[in-house]
Amino acid sequence: MADELVAGHGQVVAAYFDPGTSRRIPWRQRPQAARLMAAASSPESAIDAIVVGEYERAFTGTQFSTLYTWCTRHGIQLWLPETGGPVDLGNRDHRALMALLATQSQREVLRARHRVLAAMHNQATQQGRYLGGRPPYGYRLVDAGPHPNPADARWGRRLQRLAPDPRTAPHVLWMFRQRLAGHSVASIARHLNERGVPCPSSADPDRNRHRTRGAWTLRTVAVILANPRYTGRQTWNRRTTGTEGPASMPALSAKMAHSPLVTEQDFVTAQQIRATRPARDGRVHRFALAGLIHCGVCDRRLDSHWNHGRPTYRCRHGHTSTQRAGQPRSKTLYIREDHLIDELNIQLGDEGNDGHATPELDRPRHRRVAAALRNSGKIIVYDGAGWRLEEIDSS
């Protein structure tokens, strides 16, 4: 297209292409485009025009107007096939054409994104293909043969699949056995730390350079127990982006794609164990002041904690049940909600106080006090010796 456009007007002295670079990236951040701009602006340059063969592959958004301004400042023409020669934004027809091309370019970006995501979704669900990313803890990557696309196969590209890692797979099996036996996620993480089992960031540091923690956490164990890949089925896009189309649909392969570490029945059972256990009396425990009480010692929010049939709040100052018992730490803070409600009623001037402390959280008094705190933008700060009200720092 570029050669045909300049035929009879000049010749192409150099070609610049940025394969594999998104058109959303500004020209100065594209390797070849940046080289072109540097060469064209050099005092010794013989370039007097930049010819773009296809607008949609070169620009999106406001990139064209930015480059046009740069070209005008350096005395360089910008040619497009759609205008049959140099672009002149002083021409009303050219301005309208550029606006239309910008819209088409954005539509092409969306089409390409949709096609790629739809293809990846189908490859994961129908073929069970591994589509990249870090292998989950307990698996390693092995060769799966040549690429099914003949062109890619000729270039030497090969597929990969997941296979059990003899070093870490036994630990995954142990975690599921412990969970199926009724053990909590916290106790599983604590026992892994006590036994010195390497966590994912320690077992595979090259693929986890962004992680620095060397111990198991509640979230790490919970993520492993909730990953359906351990049933032998391939997954993709489990953490959706909230958009429509293929990007919003998590993919699960219809057939086994690799060796399973747990059966599907055991996996489903483990997910059911993760559900919140009901209280003995069948009621749902509610905490009116949840998130409104902060520790005056370490500035953390107090955890909601049901104790002796009453709603209470506690702060363990960063200590979690994944750590060994007996490690030195500050004394845990406890405070009862009913005691706070009585005192807050007086300080906030709640006329609805009936004068009787109660752990029942469906009474209007508890809701009124919590609503008054939130509406006033205040929190409770408790340090073990007493409490005070403070304004929420919005910064």
Distances (CA, A) of 384 to 197, 318, 335, 359: 37, 16, 8, 21
Average pLDDT over residues 289-310: 84
Average pLDDT over residues 74-96: 90
* Per-residue model confidence (pLDDT) at position 178: 92
* Per-residue model confidence (pLDDT) at position 160: 85
pLDDT higher than 50, residue 287: yes
Average pLDDT over residues 70-89: 91
Q: Which of 84-88, 245-249, 308-312 bottoms out in mean pLDDT, i.e. has the lowest?
A: 245-249
Average pLDDT over residues 224-232: 92
* Per-residue model confidence (pLDDT) at position 361: 43
Average pLDDT over residues 257-263: 92
* Per-residue model confidence (pLDDT) at position 246: 58
What is the per-residue pLDDT across 155-188, written as a single tens digit (0 to 9) for each? 888 888 899 999 999 999 999 999 998 888 888 9
Domain boundaries, the chain: 2-109, 139-146+160-273, 293-391
* Per-residue model confidence (pLDDT) at position 139: 93
pLDDT higher than 90, residue 236: no
Q: How confident is the model at residue 334 (pLDDT cuts 50, 70, 90)?
A: confident
Q: Which of 23-27, 43-47, 57-61, 319-323 bottoms out in mean pLDDT, i.e. has the lowest?
A: 319-323
Average pLDDT over residues 17-36: 89
pLDDT higher than 70, residue 217: yes
pLDDT higher than 70, residue 81: yes
Domain 2-109 falls in which CATH fold?
Answer: Rossmann fold (3.40.50)
Q: How confident is the model at residue 320 (pLDDT cuts 50, 70, 90)?
A: low
Q: How confident is the model at residue 352 (pLDDT cuts 50, 70, 90)?
A: very low
Spatial separation of the C-alpha atoms in residues 198 and 214, rounded to whole Å: 8
Identity of the highest mean pLDDT range in 218-232, 271-285, 305-319: 218-232
pLDDT higher than 80, residue 270: yes
Q: Do domains 2-109 and 139-146+160-273 have the same CATH topology?
A: no
pLDDT higher than 80, residue 316: yes
Averaged pLDDT of the chain: 82
pLDDT higher than 50, residue 200: yes
pLDDT higher than 60, residue 229: yes
* Per-residue model confidence (pLDDT) at position 123: 85
Identify the CATH class of 139-146+160-273: alpha beta
* Per-residue model confidence (pLDDT) at position 164: 94
* Per-residue model confidence (pLDDT) at position 351: 43
Average pLDDT over residues 276-287: 62
What is the per-residue pLDDT across 187-196, written as a single tens digit (0 to 9) for each? 899 999 999 8
* Per-residue model confidence (pLDDT) at position 359: 43
